[in-house]
Amino acid sequence: MLEPAYQADVVVVGAGVAGLSAAHRLTSAGVTTMVLEAAHGVGGRMATEKIDGFRLDRVGQLLSTAYPELRQTPGLGGLVLRPFAPGVLLHGDGRHHRAGLQPGAGGARGALHAVRALASAPRPPSATRPPRRPVAVPGRQVSVPRSRSGAPLGTAVDQARLGAALTRLAGTPAERLLARPELPAGEALAARGLPARTIDGFLRPLLAALLCDPDLTTSSRCADLALRSFASGRLCVPEGGAEALPELLASTLPPGSVHTGVRVTSVSTTSVTTAEHGEIRCRAVLVATDARAAAELLPGLRVPDFHPVTVVHHTTDEPPATGASLLLDADLGGPVAHTAVVSRVDPSRAPAGRALVSSTVLGRPPGDVDTAVRMHLARLYGVSTARWETLAVRHTAEAVPAMRPPHDLRRPVRLLAGLYVCGDHRDTSTVQGALHSGHRASAAILADLGAGRSLHVADPVPTVPRAA
Protein backbone atom coordinates (compact mmCIF):
# COMPACT_ATOMS: atom_id res chain seq x y z
CA MET A 1 0.00 0.00 0.00
CA LEU A 2 1.04 3.60 -0.52
CA GLU A 3 2.18 5.02 2.79
CA PRO A 4 0.24 8.19 3.64
CA ALA A 5 3.45 9.99 4.55
CA TYR A 6 5.05 9.23 1.20
CA GLN A 7 6.30 12.29 -0.57
CA ALA A 8 7.59 13.04 -4.01
CA ASP A 9 8.78 16.28 -5.51
CA VAL A 10 6.03 16.13 -8.12
CA VAL A 11 2.82 14.12 -8.34
CA VAL A 12 1.55 13.68 -11.91
CA VAL A 13 -2.18 12.88 -12.12
CA GLY A 14 -2.87 10.74 -15.21
CA ALA A 15 -0.67 8.31 -17.16
CA GLY A 16 -1.61 9.28 -20.71
CA VAL A 17 1.18 10.32 -23.05
CA ALA A 18 1.14 13.91 -21.74
CA GLY A 19 1.66 12.89 -18.09
CA LEU A 20 4.16 10.15 -18.86
CA SER A 21 6.30 12.32 -21.11
CA ALA A 22 6.32 15.09 -18.48
CA ALA A 23 7.26 12.52 -15.80
CA HIS A 24 10.13 11.29 -17.94
CA ARG A 25 11.52 14.81 -18.38
CA LEU A 26 11.16 15.52 -14.65
CA THR A 27 12.89 12.33 -13.48
CA SER A 28 15.63 12.89 -16.06
CA ALA A 29 16.27 16.26 -14.39
CA GLY A 30 16.63 14.62 -10.98
CA VAL A 31 13.15 15.44 -9.69
CA THR A 32 11.42 12.56 -7.88
CA THR A 33 8.09 11.98 -9.55
CA MET A 34 5.07 9.81 -8.80
CA VAL A 35 2.46 9.16 -11.49
CA LEU A 36 -1.04 8.26 -10.28
CA GLU A 37 -3.42 6.72 -12.80
CA ALA A 38 -7.09 5.92 -12.15
CA ALA A 39 -7.34 3.14 -14.75
CA HIS A 40 -5.74 -0.29 -14.45
CA GLY A 41 -3.18 0.40 -17.14
CA VAL A 42 -1.23 3.31 -18.61
CA GLY A 43 -1.94 5.03 -21.92
CA GLY A 44 -5.29 6.77 -21.48
CA ARG A 45 -6.86 7.18 -24.90
CA MET A 46 -3.90 5.41 -26.53
CA ALA A 47 -5.08 2.02 -25.35
CA THR A 48 -4.73 -1.19 -27.39
CA GLU A 49 -6.96 -4.22 -26.81
CA LYS A 50 -5.60 -7.70 -27.46
CA ILE A 51 -8.22 -10.11 -28.81
CA ASP A 52 -7.36 -13.52 -30.34
CA GLY A 53 -3.93 -12.38 -31.49
CA PHE A 54 -5.18 -9.04 -32.87
CA ARG A 55 -4.08 -5.67 -31.52
CA LEU A 56 -7.00 -3.26 -31.69
CA ASP A 57 -6.50 0.44 -31.10
CA ARG A 58 -9.18 2.61 -29.61
CA VAL A 59 -7.69 5.66 -31.36
CA GLY A 60 -7.65 6.48 -35.05
CA GLN A 61 -4.58 5.66 -37.08
CA LEU A 62 -3.16 8.97 -37.98
CA LEU A 63 0.15 9.96 -36.47
CA SER A 64 2.66 11.75 -38.68
CA THR A 65 6.39 11.09 -38.84
CA ALA A 66 6.64 14.90 -39.00
CA TYR A 67 5.23 15.36 -35.47
CA PRO A 68 8.27 17.06 -33.85
CA GLU A 69 7.55 15.64 -30.38
CA LEU A 70 7.74 12.04 -31.64
CA ARG A 71 11.41 12.73 -32.41
CA GLN A 72 12.20 15.09 -29.54
CA THR A 73 10.53 13.40 -26.57
CA PRO A 74 13.19 11.67 -24.49
CA GLY A 75 12.19 8.08 -23.85
CA LEU A 76 10.69 7.58 -27.31
CA GLY A 77 14.02 6.72 -28.95
CA GLY A 78 12.98 3.07 -29.29
CA LEU A 79 9.60 3.84 -30.88
CA VAL A 80 9.10 2.10 -34.22
CA LEU A 81 6.72 3.91 -36.56
CA ARG A 82 5.18 1.93 -39.42
CA PRO A 83 4.38 4.27 -42.34
CA PHE A 84 1.38 3.99 -44.62
CA ALA A 85 2.07 3.98 -48.37
CA PRO A 86 2.96 7.56 -49.39
CA GLY A 87 0.05 9.97 -49.64
CA VAL A 88 -3.47 8.58 -49.53
CA LEU A 89 -5.71 6.47 -51.74
CA LEU A 90 -8.91 8.32 -52.68
CA HIS A 91 -12.07 6.51 -53.66
CA GLY A 92 -14.09 8.68 -56.00
CA ASP A 93 -16.61 7.98 -58.73
CA GLY A 94 -16.21 4.23 -58.20
CA ARG A 95 -12.43 4.14 -58.70
CA HIS A 96 -9.22 4.48 -56.71
CA HIS A 97 -6.89 7.44 -57.20
CA ARG A 98 -3.56 7.90 -55.43
CA ALA A 99 -2.58 11.34 -54.21
CA GLY A 100 0.24 12.39 -51.97
CA LEU A 101 3.69 13.81 -51.64
CA GLN A 102 6.74 11.92 -52.76
CA PRO A 103 9.01 12.09 -49.73
CA GLY A 104 12.58 13.04 -50.48
CA ALA A 105 12.12 13.44 -54.20
CA GLY A 106 13.27 16.93 -54.97
CA GLY A 107 13.67 17.73 -51.27
CA ALA A 108 11.43 20.59 -50.24
CA ARG A 109 10.18 20.71 -53.80
CA GLY A 110 8.80 17.19 -53.51
CA ALA A 111 6.23 16.95 -56.23
CA LEU A 112 2.71 15.73 -55.87
CA HIS A 113 2.29 12.28 -57.32
CA ALA A 114 0.26 12.48 -60.43
CA VAL A 115 -3.17 11.21 -59.62
CA ARG A 116 -3.39 7.73 -61.01
CA ALA A 117 -6.74 6.17 -61.58
CA LEU A 118 -6.01 2.58 -60.65
CA ALA A 119 -7.44 0.76 -63.60
CA SER A 120 -7.05 -2.46 -61.65
CA ALA A 121 -9.36 -1.30 -58.88
CA PRO A 122 -12.08 -3.95 -58.86
CA ARG A 123 -15.70 -2.97 -59.34
CA PRO A 124 -17.86 -3.71 -56.34
CA PRO A 125 -20.05 -6.78 -56.45
CA SER A 126 -23.49 -6.00 -57.86
CA ALA A 127 -25.21 -6.44 -54.47
CA THR A 128 -23.12 -3.61 -53.06
CA ARG A 129 -22.65 -1.47 -56.19
CA PRO A 130 -22.67 2.22 -55.28
CA PRO A 131 -25.81 4.20 -55.85
CA ARG A 132 -25.65 6.80 -58.61
CA ARG A 133 -25.76 9.54 -56.02
CA PRO A 134 -23.86 9.44 -52.73
CA VAL A 135 -25.85 8.09 -49.79
CA ALA A 136 -26.87 10.81 -47.36
CA VAL A 137 -25.87 10.03 -43.78
CA PRO A 138 -27.41 12.18 -41.04
CA GLY A 139 -25.00 14.83 -39.81
CA ARG A 140 -22.59 14.41 -42.71
CA GLN A 141 -21.96 16.50 -45.73
CA VAL A 142 -22.79 14.99 -49.11
CA SER A 143 -20.70 16.12 -52.01
CA VAL A 144 -22.27 17.02 -55.32
CA PRO A 145 -21.56 14.54 -58.11
CA ARG A 146 -18.50 15.56 -60.10
CA SER A 147 -17.56 15.06 -63.68
CA ARG A 148 -15.55 11.88 -64.26
CA SER A 149 -12.77 13.74 -66.04
CA GLY A 150 -9.82 13.90 -63.69
CA ALA A 151 -12.05 13.15 -60.66
CA PRO A 152 -11.63 13.62 -57.82
CA LEU A 153 -8.62 15.94 -58.09
CA GLY A 154 -9.38 17.64 -61.36
CA THR A 155 -7.15 18.20 -64.37
CA ALA A 156 -3.37 17.90 -64.51
CA VAL A 157 -3.18 21.66 -63.98
CA ASP A 158 -5.39 21.40 -60.89
CA GLN A 159 -3.17 18.64 -59.55
CA ALA A 160 -0.04 20.68 -60.20
CA ARG A 161 -1.57 23.63 -58.31
CA LEU A 162 -2.39 21.38 -55.37
CA GLY A 163 1.12 19.94 -55.43
CA ALA A 164 2.62 23.41 -55.41
CA ALA A 165 0.34 24.50 -52.56
CA LEU A 166 1.26 21.46 -50.41
CA THR A 167 4.94 21.88 -51.17
CA ARG A 168 4.76 25.55 -50.13
CA LEU A 169 2.96 24.54 -46.94
CA ALA A 170 5.60 21.93 -46.08
CA GLY A 171 8.27 24.62 -46.28
CA THR A 172 6.40 27.28 -44.30
CA PRO A 173 7.54 27.75 -40.68
CA ALA A 174 4.80 26.93 -38.15
CA GLU A 175 5.03 30.46 -36.70
CA ARG A 176 4.00 31.93 -40.05
CA LEU A 177 1.02 29.59 -40.27
CA LEU A 178 -0.02 30.62 -36.77
CA ALA A 179 0.09 34.30 -37.77
CA ARG A 180 -2.48 33.80 -40.54
CA PRO A 181 -6.06 35.01 -40.06
CA GLU A 182 -8.11 32.40 -38.23
CA LEU A 183 -11.39 31.05 -39.61
CA PRO A 184 -13.24 27.75 -39.43
CA ALA A 185 -11.17 25.42 -41.64
CA GLY A 186 -14.08 24.74 -44.01
CA GLU A 187 -14.46 28.47 -44.76
CA ALA A 188 -10.73 29.09 -45.06
CA LEU A 189 -10.34 26.34 -47.69
CA ALA A 190 -12.65 28.20 -50.04
CA ALA A 191 -10.34 31.23 -49.89
CA ARG A 192 -7.13 29.34 -50.77
CA GLY A 193 -7.43 29.79 -54.55
CA LEU A 194 -7.73 26.07 -55.28
CA PRO A 195 -10.36 24.54 -57.58
CA ALA A 196 -13.57 23.46 -55.86
CA ARG A 197 -13.10 19.83 -56.87
CA THR A 198 -9.61 19.72 -55.36
CA ILE A 199 -11.06 21.08 -52.14
CA ASP A 200 -14.12 18.80 -52.07
CA GLY A 201 -12.47 15.70 -53.47
CA PHE A 202 -9.21 15.76 -51.54
CA LEU A 203 -8.68 18.46 -48.93
CA ARG A 204 -12.04 18.13 -47.15
CA PRO A 205 -11.90 14.36 -46.62
CA LEU A 206 -8.20 14.51 -45.76
CA LEU A 207 -8.60 17.29 -43.20
CA ALA A 208 -11.70 15.69 -41.69
CA ALA A 209 -9.64 12.53 -41.13
CA LEU A 210 -6.61 14.36 -39.74
CA LEU A 211 -8.67 16.55 -37.39
CA CYS A 212 -11.42 13.99 -36.48
CA ASP A 213 -13.79 16.82 -37.48
CA PRO A 214 -16.29 15.95 -40.25
CA ASP A 215 -17.75 19.47 -40.40
CA LEU A 216 -14.36 21.24 -40.51
CA THR A 217 -15.25 23.71 -37.78
CA THR A 218 -11.65 23.49 -36.49
CA SER A 219 -9.46 26.59 -36.51
CA SER A 220 -7.82 27.06 -39.92
CA ARG A 221 -4.48 27.49 -38.12
CA CYS A 222 -4.75 23.99 -36.64
CA ALA A 223 -5.86 22.70 -40.05
CA ASP A 224 -2.80 24.30 -41.68
CA LEU A 225 -0.54 22.64 -39.11
CA ALA A 226 -2.19 19.27 -39.78
CA LEU A 227 -1.79 19.67 -43.55
CA ARG A 228 1.80 20.77 -43.06
CA SER A 229 2.53 17.57 -41.10
CA PHE A 230 0.88 15.57 -43.87
CA ALA A 231 2.89 17.34 -46.58
CA SER A 232 6.25 17.10 -44.84
CA GLY A 233 6.07 13.59 -43.37
CA ARG A 234 4.34 10.22 -43.69
CA LEU A 235 1.20 9.10 -41.94
CA CYS A 236 2.10 6.21 -39.66
CA VAL A 237 1.11 3.96 -36.75
CA PRO A 238 3.24 2.80 -33.83
CA GLU A 239 4.39 -0.80 -34.29
CA GLY A 240 2.47 -3.10 -31.96
CA GLY A 241 -0.45 -0.71 -31.41
CA ALA A 242 -1.02 2.77 -30.06
CA GLU A 243 -0.20 1.61 -26.53
CA ALA A 244 3.42 1.03 -27.56
CA LEU A 245 4.01 4.76 -27.15
CA PRO A 246 2.82 5.18 -23.52
CA GLU A 247 4.23 1.76 -22.57
CA LEU A 248 7.63 2.84 -23.82
CA LEU A 249 7.47 6.08 -21.84
CA ALA A 250 6.35 4.24 -18.68
CA SER A 251 9.11 1.66 -19.02
CA THR A 252 11.77 4.37 -18.98
CA LEU A 253 10.65 5.74 -15.58
CA PRO A 254 12.34 4.54 -12.40
CA PRO A 255 10.65 1.36 -11.10
CA GLY A 256 7.77 2.15 -8.78
CA SER A 257 7.06 5.59 -10.27
CA VAL A 258 3.70 4.68 -11.82
CA HIS A 259 0.73 3.59 -9.71
CA THR A 260 -2.36 2.42 -11.55
CA GLY A 261 -5.80 2.00 -10.00
CA VAL A 262 -5.33 5.20 -7.97
CA ARG A 263 -7.95 7.92 -8.52
CA VAL A 264 -7.11 11.45 -7.45
CA THR A 265 -10.10 13.27 -5.97
CA SER A 266 -8.60 16.67 -5.18
CA VAL A 267 -5.37 18.59 -5.69
CA SER A 268 -3.57 21.55 -4.11
CA THR A 269 -0.14 23.09 -4.62
CA THR A 270 1.38 20.77 -2.00
CA SER A 271 -0.66 17.57 -2.03
CA VAL A 272 -3.16 15.35 -3.76
CA THR A 273 -5.94 13.33 -2.16
CA THR A 274 -6.70 9.90 -3.54
CA ALA A 275 -9.80 7.75 -3.20
CA GLU A 276 -7.69 4.72 -2.27
CA HIS A 277 -4.69 5.98 -0.27
CA GLY A 278 -5.61 9.29 1.33
CA GLU A 279 -3.32 12.32 1.04
CA ILE A 280 0.07 12.32 -0.67
CA ARG A 281 2.31 15.29 -0.03
CA CYS A 282 4.54 16.80 -2.65
CA ARG A 283 6.07 20.07 -3.79
CA ALA A 284 4.14 20.40 -7.03
CA VAL A 285 1.16 18.77 -8.74
CA LEU A 286 0.75 18.29 -12.47
CA VAL A 287 -2.80 17.46 -13.58
CA ALA A 288 -2.36 15.47 -16.81
CA THR A 289 -5.88 14.12 -17.28
CA ASP A 290 -8.35 14.59 -20.10
CA ALA A 291 -10.11 17.98 -20.23
CA ARG A 292 -13.24 17.00 -18.30
CA ALA A 293 -11.39 15.33 -15.42
CA ALA A 294 -8.99 18.29 -15.30
CA ALA A 295 -11.91 20.70 -14.89
CA GLU A 296 -13.29 18.58 -12.04
CA LEU A 297 -9.97 18.74 -10.20
CA LEU A 298 -9.31 22.37 -11.14
CA PRO A 299 -12.65 24.23 -11.01
CA GLY A 300 -12.67 27.15 -13.42
CA LEU A 301 -10.79 25.31 -16.14
CA ARG A 302 -12.78 25.41 -19.37
CA VAL A 303 -14.37 22.19 -20.66
CA PRO A 304 -14.28 22.18 -24.47
CA ASP A 305 -16.74 20.51 -26.82
CA PHE A 306 -15.55 17.15 -28.10
CA HIS A 307 -15.60 15.30 -31.41
CA PRO A 308 -16.94 11.74 -31.03
CA VAL A 309 -15.05 8.99 -32.86
CA THR A 310 -15.96 5.35 -33.50
CA VAL A 311 -13.36 2.80 -34.59
CA VAL A 312 -14.54 -0.47 -36.17
CA HIS A 313 -12.19 -3.43 -36.54
CA HIS A 314 -12.87 -6.28 -38.99
CA THR A 315 -10.88 -9.32 -40.00
CA THR A 316 -10.84 -11.31 -43.21
CA ASP A 317 -8.60 -13.97 -44.72
CA GLU A 318 -8.89 -12.31 -48.14
CA PRO A 319 -7.54 -8.78 -47.67
CA PRO A 320 -8.45 -6.14 -50.25
CA ALA A 321 -5.67 -5.28 -52.71
CA THR A 322 -5.01 -1.75 -51.43
CA GLY A 323 -1.70 -2.65 -49.78
CA ALA A 324 -0.56 -0.38 -46.95
CA SER A 325 -2.60 2.60 -48.18
CA LEU A 326 -4.85 4.83 -46.13
CA LEU A 327 -8.14 4.93 -48.03
CA LEU A 328 -10.43 7.98 -47.95
CA ASP A 329 -13.82 8.48 -49.58
CA ALA A 330 -13.74 11.51 -51.86
CA ASP A 331 -17.52 11.19 -52.30
CA LEU A 332 -18.31 11.18 -48.55
CA GLY A 333 -20.79 8.48 -49.49
CA GLY A 334 -21.07 6.67 -46.15
CA PRO A 335 -20.03 6.75 -42.53
CA VAL A 336 -16.36 5.74 -42.92
CA ALA A 337 -13.95 8.69 -42.91
CA HIS A 338 -10.85 6.57 -43.39
CA THR A 339 -9.92 2.90 -43.46
CA ALA A 340 -6.87 0.73 -43.99
CA VAL A 341 -5.72 -2.86 -43.99
CA VAL A 342 -3.71 -2.02 -40.90
CA SER A 343 -2.03 -5.42 -40.77
CA ARG A 344 -0.38 -4.50 -44.10
CA VAL A 345 1.07 -1.40 -42.44
CA ASP A 346 2.00 -3.19 -39.21
CA PRO A 347 1.93 -6.99 -39.51
CA SER A 348 2.25 -7.39 -35.72
CA ARG A 349 -1.41 -6.38 -35.36
CA ALA A 350 -2.93 -9.61 -36.75
CA PRO A 351 -2.16 -13.31 -36.43
CA ALA A 352 -0.67 -15.13 -39.42
CA GLY A 353 -3.11 -15.67 -42.27
CA ARG A 354 -5.58 -13.01 -41.10
CA ALA A 355 -5.88 -9.37 -42.13
CA LEU A 356 -7.00 -6.57 -39.81
CA VAL A 357 -9.08 -3.81 -41.41
CA SER A 358 -9.57 -0.79 -39.14
CA SER A 359 -12.05 1.94 -40.07
CA THR A 360 -12.88 5.25 -38.43
CA VAL A 361 -16.31 6.89 -38.26
CA LEU A 362 -16.38 10.56 -37.29
CA GLY A 363 -19.25 12.36 -35.59
CA ARG A 364 -22.44 10.70 -34.39
CA PRO A 365 -22.44 7.15 -35.77
CA PRO A 366 -25.48 5.75 -37.61
CA GLY A 367 -27.83 3.35 -35.73
CA ASP A 368 -26.45 0.01 -36.89
CA VAL A 369 -22.91 1.23 -37.31
CA ASP A 370 -21.38 -2.15 -38.17
CA THR A 371 -23.82 -2.82 -41.04
CA ALA A 372 -23.45 0.73 -42.37
CA VAL A 373 -19.66 0.47 -42.19
CA ARG A 374 -19.61 -2.94 -43.93
CA MET A 375 -21.74 -1.61 -46.79
CA HIS A 376 -19.54 1.43 -47.16
CA LEU A 377 -16.35 -0.66 -46.99
CA ALA A 378 -17.68 -2.94 -49.75
CA ARG A 379 -17.91 0.10 -52.03
CA LEU A 380 -14.60 1.60 -50.92
CA TYR A 381 -12.58 -1.61 -51.32
CA GLY A 382 -14.60 -3.04 -54.21
CA VAL A 383 -15.02 -6.44 -52.52
CA SER A 384 -17.82 -8.21 -50.67
CA THR A 385 -17.56 -7.71 -46.93
CA ALA A 386 -20.38 -10.13 -46.11
CA ARG A 387 -17.99 -12.73 -44.68
CA TRP A 388 -15.80 -10.29 -42.79
CA GLU A 389 -15.82 -10.87 -39.05
CA THR A 390 -16.37 -7.94 -36.71
CA LEU A 391 -13.74 -7.89 -33.96
CA ALA A 392 -14.73 -4.71 -32.12
CA VAL A 393 -16.75 -1.51 -32.40
CA ARG A 394 -15.38 1.14 -30.04
CA HIS A 395 -17.17 4.45 -29.62
CA THR A 396 -15.53 7.30 -27.68
CA ALA A 397 -17.97 10.17 -27.14
CA GLU A 398 -15.30 12.60 -25.90
CA ALA A 399 -12.47 11.43 -28.14
CA VAL A 400 -10.90 14.69 -29.27
CA PRO A 401 -11.35 18.21 -27.86
CA ALA A 402 -12.79 20.53 -30.53
CA MET A 403 -10.40 23.28 -31.67
CA ARG A 404 -12.83 25.94 -32.92
CA PRO A 405 -11.52 29.44 -33.61
CA PRO A 406 -10.24 31.31 -31.79
CA HIS A 407 -8.10 28.42 -30.61
CA ASP A 408 -5.17 29.06 -28.29
CA LEU A 409 -2.59 26.42 -29.14
CA ARG A 410 -0.51 27.30 -26.13
CA ARG A 411 -2.96 27.44 -23.25
CA PRO A 412 -1.14 28.15 -19.98
CA VAL A 413 0.21 25.05 -18.25
CA ARG A 414 1.28 26.88 -15.06
CA LEU A 415 -1.79 27.84 -13.01
CA LEU A 416 0.02 28.73 -9.77
CA ALA A 417 3.49 28.08 -8.42
CA GLY A 418 3.06 24.40 -7.49
CA LEU A 419 -0.01 23.68 -9.64
CA TYR A 420 0.28 22.79 -13.34
CA VAL A 421 -1.88 21.23 -16.04
CA CYS A 422 -1.10 19.49 -19.33
CA GLY A 423 -2.88 17.29 -21.87
CA ASP A 424 -4.09 17.62 -25.45
CA HIS A 425 -6.70 20.22 -24.33
CA ARG A 426 -3.85 22.69 -23.56
CA ASP A 427 -2.36 22.47 -27.08
CA THR A 428 -3.61 20.73 -30.22
CA SER A 429 -5.93 17.74 -29.82
CA THR A 430 -3.37 15.26 -31.09
CA VAL A 431 -0.63 13.03 -29.76
CA GLN A 432 1.80 15.78 -30.82
CA GLY A 433 -0.21 18.32 -28.81
CA ALA A 434 -0.39 16.08 -25.73
CA LEU A 435 3.38 15.44 -25.81
CA HIS A 436 4.13 19.11 -26.37
CA SER A 437 1.94 20.18 -23.47
CA GLY A 438 3.83 17.72 -21.25
CA HIS A 439 7.06 19.26 -22.50
CA ARG A 440 5.90 22.78 -21.63
CA ALA A 441 4.55 21.77 -18.22
CA SER A 442 7.72 19.94 -17.18
CA ALA A 443 9.79 22.96 -18.24
CA ALA A 444 7.59 25.25 -16.12
CA ILE A 445 7.89 22.94 -13.09
CA LEU A 446 11.65 22.65 -13.45
CA ALA A 447 11.95 26.43 -13.71
CA ASP A 448 9.89 26.91 -10.52
CA LEU A 449 11.46 24.14 -8.46
CA GLY A 450 15.03 24.60 -9.61
CA ALA A 451 16.15 22.23 -12.32
CA GLY A 452 18.93 19.74 -12.34
CA ARG A 453 19.11 18.71 -8.72
CA SER A 454 17.10 16.46 -6.48
CA LEU A 455 14.82 18.54 -4.32
CA HIS A 456 14.61 16.23 -1.40
CA VAL A 457 15.80 12.84 -0.40
CA ALA A 458 13.15 10.50 -1.74
CA ASP A 459 11.27 8.42 0.75
CA PRO A 460 11.40 4.67 0.31
CA VAL A 461 9.80 3.49 -2.91
CA PRO A 462 6.11 2.86 -2.18
CA THR A 463 4.90 -0.67 -2.43
CA VAL A 464 1.75 -0.21 -4.47
CA PRO A 465 2.01 -2.82 -7.21
CA ARG A 466 1.49 -1.56 -10.75
CA ALA A 467 -1.59 -3.28 -12.04
CA ALA A 468 -1.38 -4.97 -15.41
- Return phi, psi of residue 289, to 5°: -95, 180
Beta-bridged to residue 282, according to DSSP, are: 8
Contact status: 263 vs ligand FAD (CB under 6 A): yes
- Shortest Å, Cβ 293 to ligand FAD: 3
Return the residue of 9, 213, 290, 329 that touches ligand FAD, per CB under 6 A.
Answer: 290
Beta-bridged to residue 327, according to DSSP, are: 89, 339
What DSSP letter does each residue of 354-367 carry, written as one string? -EEEEEEEESSPPS
Contact status: 427 vs ligand FAD (CB under 6 A): no
Q: Any known ligand binding at 188?
A: no
The letter for the amino acid at 221 is R
**What is the torsion angle, in degrees rounded to the nearest 10, for the CA atoms of residue 378, residue 383, residue 385 and residue 386?**
110
Are 66 and 72 spatial neighbours (Cβ–Cβ below 8 Å)? no
Residue closer to ligand FAD (CB basis): 159 or 430: 430
- Shortest Å, Cβ 329 to ligand FAD: 17
- Shortest Å, Cβ 1 to ligand FAD: 17
- Of 185-244, binders to ligand FAD (CB under 6 A) are 212
Q: Residue 108 carries which DSSP code?
A: G
- Interaction mask 434-453, ligand FAD, x per CB under 6 A: x-------------------
**What is the torsion angle, in degrees rounded to the nearest 10, for the CA atoms of residue 269, residue 273, residue 274 and residue 276?**
150
- Interaction mask 61-100, ligand FAD, x per CB under 6 A: xxx-------------------------------------
Q: Any known ligand binding at 209?
A: no
What DSSP letter does each residue of 297-351 carry, written as one string? HSTTPPPPPEEEEEEEEEEESS--S-TT--EEETT--SSEEEEEEHHHH-GGGS-
Are 217 and 429 spatial neighbours (Cβ–Cβ below 8 Å)? no
Contact status: 248 vs ligand FAD (CB under 6 A): no
Q: Which stretch binds ligand FAD (CB under 6 A): 123-131, 173-181, 425-433, 457-465?
A: 425-433
Return the residue of 24, 25, 58, 96 that touches ligand FAD, per CB under 6 A.
Answer: 58
Q: What are the residues binding ligand FAD (CB under 6 A)?
A: 13-19, 36-39, 44-46, 58-63, 212, 263-264, 288-290, 293, 309, 311, 396, 399-400, 423-424, 429-431, 434
